[in-house]
Structure 1
Amino acid sequence: MTRRAPLAAAACAALGAGLLIGVPPASAQCAAPAGVYREAMGWAQRLTDASGTWPVADGTGQLLAVVGTGIDAANDQFGPGQVVPGSDLGDCDGRGTFAAGIVGARPDPATAFAGMAPGARLLGIRYTETRSGGGDPDPDALAGAIRRATDAGATVILVAVPAPRTSPALEDAVRDALTGNALVVSPAVGDKPGTRSYPTGLPGVVAVGALDPSGAAVQDESGPHLSIAAPGADLTGLSAGARGGLGHRWGVDGPAFSAAYVAGAAVLVRSYRPELSAEQVAERLARTASHPPNGHDPRLGWGVLNVGAAVAAELPDDPSALRLPDAPAPPVATVRPAAGPAPLPDHAPLPGWLALLGVAAAALAVVARTTVRLGKARGWRPGSRSRDRSS
């Protein structure tokens, strides 16, 4: 079992709409690595492992905006120039760097941890800082950050730190981002059932729930607005404060980070299928999810993210709308292995209905072969990925 890195009690406390990874503001210190992660691939990374799609879709040509606390580009798993000019560099809080690493960390032989879309370019936008203390994230400041991401040409906007309330400015900024064909992904981190975080609760936003290794939802927010679920407990990722070397934190519980996994999958889909609109990508993520037994779940949405199917599955031409709740989800074409699934590498198998996703993880090599075949059928050639809108 993976050992959890020690965290100060105050550093583990939820602050605003996210998880403070650094240390309390009163200490005037910032996030720092627990070390270099040298253990086997953690459960969340195994569940969302996208390395089999990299021959045809590794995020190249896509610009991901991480809206929250900035990005500390001085972690060696970010490639040279991967964090683009114009980013808010430095991240005392640590949440922006952790989320960005889930998506874009490049493979390194010194660690099993890697991001889902290492070819993506990253734009870090800071609109809140926990080290300054005081109050909830401001929705108007968040609106300005989303507008900045839209103006920069981000194809996927990951809201790493949502706000607890909305505002006309935030609603207008999200509407304009969607009109501009940017996909907005935001976690559900409301502090009790029936509450919504924002822009998570706004129309058109991919609203993400969080689950633990048992398959149970870990966030309190619930409702018909939830689209999909992804890991949000016992996570491994990049740490701010690495000062040019490698640095990680692990054993991190943070429901807000679930959105980073979904954003990573969205980047891959947009990389491989640049002809799809943001709305079509959002629908594809929901339709290819591994559905819970009773259809839509108020805390897990249409089910758990299935990265291989989201990228490689060929869906029916008639995508009939997803229906809420008590109605069956539309049929989905999935990529299945020719033989029974191999066991997941390392650790115990995932329990409950979540174990169905082991098929996707264990069959990733098959998904990769199928993806390559589909890519060739679509006229793909090495290096023929879509052009970055930010260039």
Structure 2
Amino acid sequence: MARRFGGVAAVTGLLALGIPATASAAPPAQGQCATPLGTYTGAVPWGQRLLDPARIWPLTRGEQQVVAVVGTGVDGQNPQLRGQLTGGAEAASDCDGRGTIAAGIVAARPDPSTTFAGIAPEARILPIRYTNGGGSTEGGDPKALASAIDQAAQKGAGVILVAVPSTADSPELSAAVDRARGRGAVVVSPAAATQQGGHTYPTATPGVLAVGSINAAGEPAQTEAGGYLGLAAPGADLVSTSAGPGGGHRWGITNPGLAAAYVAGAAALVRAYQPGLTGDQVVTRLLLTAHRPASGGRDPRRGWGVVDAYAAVSSALPADVAGPGLPGKPASLPAVTPAAADARPHADRVAGALALAGVGAAVTAGFAVAAFRRGRRRSWRPSRFAPSRENSS
């Protein structure tokens, strides 16, 4: 049975945010740099609770994955990001702050002083600056963005997160996306246009996993809409790492451009747990396992639904399963049943190891039940969707 988006709205609407709305959604004014509000000690942020990465960490924490954050740079001195940056120091600072916020959502390591943590805390961050922000909510030159994407792909990023998309397109940008995908990278970009009817790039570029944003009630939180949107993720009332002296956090952040960071973190987890998948297969998994819109089809601002990181990592799918959004693929989604899971939090390595055993048993049981039901429906005839070697962990 397909999972519907309405269920996410009901669940997220009941979450107690515990987040004072004091942080600005916009980058700092020209001539100023981002500064932390302090150390966040409130309730676990609702976006983090929605994706529930601790449920996935017994399976994978994003080990050996490189996520490029293309935008305004990343402040590598933030304590939750210290030691995680790779690729040189040329972009390891961030006056604007948006790159550091996005990087924290992807890969901030758990810290006992805060309830905030990233989705894939063992992933490495490759910061690539193509714009300084300069107080503008818009991105920079699309040709410079194309060069940044090329650089990310050449340095081996398996996931390329465009944290600050451009409001203009160019042939060079489309070509850079094609080259990155040719190297096997997943290119993720947010729908972040501020003008009604506006588009951002490479968000609207074919082959890019375009991400819309939602608030805690499951409602769209961005202006940009279009048939190219693939998924939705949290983009309002967020918490993450902050650039600036002493590190720390910002919270109460509403910025649709940050929704793509959750999807990039989920993609890193999928790539770590299923290393044999191509970039397109990773995208297909994320689309097929999303919480669907109530219509069951593509929503113009929420795509095929809200990202479900656990289902994307753990569900049993054949390697050649068809998904939407790529040439020759269908315009609708088949139902996908996610693996059973142990939903308890995993606070430390010992608890995580014990939980891993429980998750493994539950997943095995879930596969067995699914196989039994399929067999009974097919009068025990062989199915062409038998699990392939690609899906083994």
TM-score by length of 2: 0.80
Q: Which residue of 2 aligns with 1:139?
A: 142
Change (3 A) 1:92 1:48: same
State which of 332, 335, 338 in structure 2 corresponds to 1:331: 335
Q: Is the 8 A contact 1:183 1:278 kept in 2?
A: yes
State which of 359, 367, 377 in structure 2 corresponds to 1:369: 359
- Report matched runs for 1:242-281 at 5 Å: 242-243=245-246, 246-281=247-282
Q: Which residue of 2 aligns with 1:3?
A: 19
% same residue: 46
Q: Is the 8 A contact 1:196 1:221 kept in 2?
A: yes
Residues 1:289 and 2:283 aligned together: no
Matched AA of 1:256: G
Q: Which residue of 2 aligns with 1:322?
A: 324
Change (3 A) 1:135 1:313: closer
Q: Which residue of 2 aligns with 1:110?
A: 113
Q: Is the 8 A contact 1:53 1:368 kept in 2?
A: no
Residue 222 of structure 1: how far off its partner (Å) = 1.0
Cα deviation 1:206-252 (Å, max 9, x = unaligned):
00000001111011111110000000000000000143xx4000000
Residues 1:206 and 2:206 aligned together: no
Q: Which residue of 2 aligns with 1:63?
A: 66
Mapped partners of 1:266, 1:368: distance in 2: 24
Cα deviation 1:1-54 (Å, max 9, x = unaligned):
4232534xxx54xxxxxx41xx310xx221000010011101111001212222
- DSSP 3-state at the match of 2:270: helix
Give the paired residue count.
340
- DSSP 3-state at the match of 2:102: helix
Q: Is the 8 A contact 2:281 2:319 kept in 1?
A: no
Q: Is the 8 A contact 1:5 1:249 kept in 2?
A: no
Structure 1 portions without partners, runs of 5+? 13-18, 345-364, 380-384, 386-391
Mapped partners of 1:280, 1:143: distance in 2: 23
Matched AA of 2:283: A
Matched AA of 2:300: P
Q: Is the 8 A contact 1:316 1:332 kept in 2?
A: no
Change (3 A) 1:370 1:97: same
Residue 256 of structure 1: how far off its partner (Å) = 0.4
Q: Is the 8 A contact 1:52 1:367 kept in 2?
A: no
Mapped partners of 2:301, 2:270: distance in 1: 24
State which of 278, 302, 305 in structure 2 corresponds to 1:303: 305
Matched AA of 1:331: A
Mapped partners of 1:323, 1:160: distance in 2: 21
Residue 172 of structure 1: how far off its partner (Å) = 0.9
Residue 129 of structure 1: how far off its partner (Å) = 1.1
Change (3 A) 1:240 1:168: same
Q: Is the 8 A contact 2:287 2:323 kept in 1?
A: no
State which of 149, 152, 159 in structure 2 corresponds to 1:149: 152
Cα deviation 1:126-183 (Å, max 9, x = unaligned):
1111237697511001011111101111010000000011101111111100001011
Change (3 A) 1:239 1:323: closer
Change (3 A) 1:56 1:337: closer
Residue 331 of structure 1: how far off its partner (Å) = 1.8
Residues 1:24 and 2:14 aligned together: no
Q: Is the 8 A contact 2:340 2:359 kept in 1?
A: no
Change (3 A) 1:133 1:251: closer
Q: Is the 8 A contact 1:68 1:127 kept in 2?
A: yes
Mapped partners of 1:67, 1:96: distance in 2: 7
Q: Which residue of 2 aligns with 1:88?
A: 91
Q: Which residue of 2 aligns with 1:37?
A: 40
Mapped partners of 1:81, 1:264: distance in 2: 14
Matched AA of 1:252: I
Residue 86 of structure 1: how far off its partner (Å) = 4.7
- DSSP 3-state at the match of 1:191: coil
Residue 378 of structure 1: how far off its partner (Å) = 10
Structure 2 portions without partners, runs of 5+? 1-16, 346-354, 365-386
Change (3 A) 1:198 1:248: same
- DSSP 3-state at the match of 1:158: strand
Matched AA of 2:339: V
Mapped partners of 2:192, 2:357: distance in 1: 32
Change (3 A) 1:81 1:130: closer
Matched AA of 1:196: H
- DSSP 3-state at the match of 1:131: coil
Residues 1:233 and 2:260 aligned together: no
- DSSP 3-state at the match of 2:229: coil
State which of 197, 222, 225 in structure 2 corresponds to 1:222: 225
Change (3 A) 1:103 1:135: closer
